Amino acid sequence: MVELKTLELDTVFHALGDATRRRMLRELADGERTVTQLAEPFEISLAAASKHIKALENAGLIRREVRGRTHICRLDPGPLASAQEWLSFYERFWNGRLDLLEQLLREDDKHAPQPPKGDDQ
């Protein structure tokens, strides 16, 4: 099960590693869009847009529904929550390190020699 979760995260991070796909996800956060609507801001072909959408689908980040000849895409935030959970470990790690650095700098400031008062050179 752990290996499956790692593979899922790899797929999510791969999908998020592309600026075009991240922007598509941002667009979908505002509501469903057609493939054509998702392609418009990028001046890319529908075939190229479809490849990006397929990568997002493979990662489980979006769902596509076919209505007649129109493909409608919508955001599925579940995998983003899994990625955020994984990233939160590193957020706690770095916050702890930065808190320790702040503490050490404050201690260093306490023990640093102070310049004499009235010496404005």
pLDDT of residue 120: 59
pLDDT tens digits for range 13-69:
999 999 999 999 999 999 999 999 999 999 889 999 999 999 999 999 999 999 999
pLDDT of residue 5: 66
**96 located within any domain:** no
Domain span at 18 = 2-77
**109 located within any domain:** no
**Number of domains comprising the chain:** 1
DSSP assignments along 86-100, one per residue: HHHHHHHHHHHHHHH
Q: Indicate the pTM of the whole model.
A: 0.69
pLDDT of residue 2: 43
**22 located within any domain:** yes
Q: Give dist(CA 37, CA 49) in Å, integer.
A: 10
**110 located within any domain:** no
Which CATH number characterizes residue 25's domain? Answer: 1.10.10.10
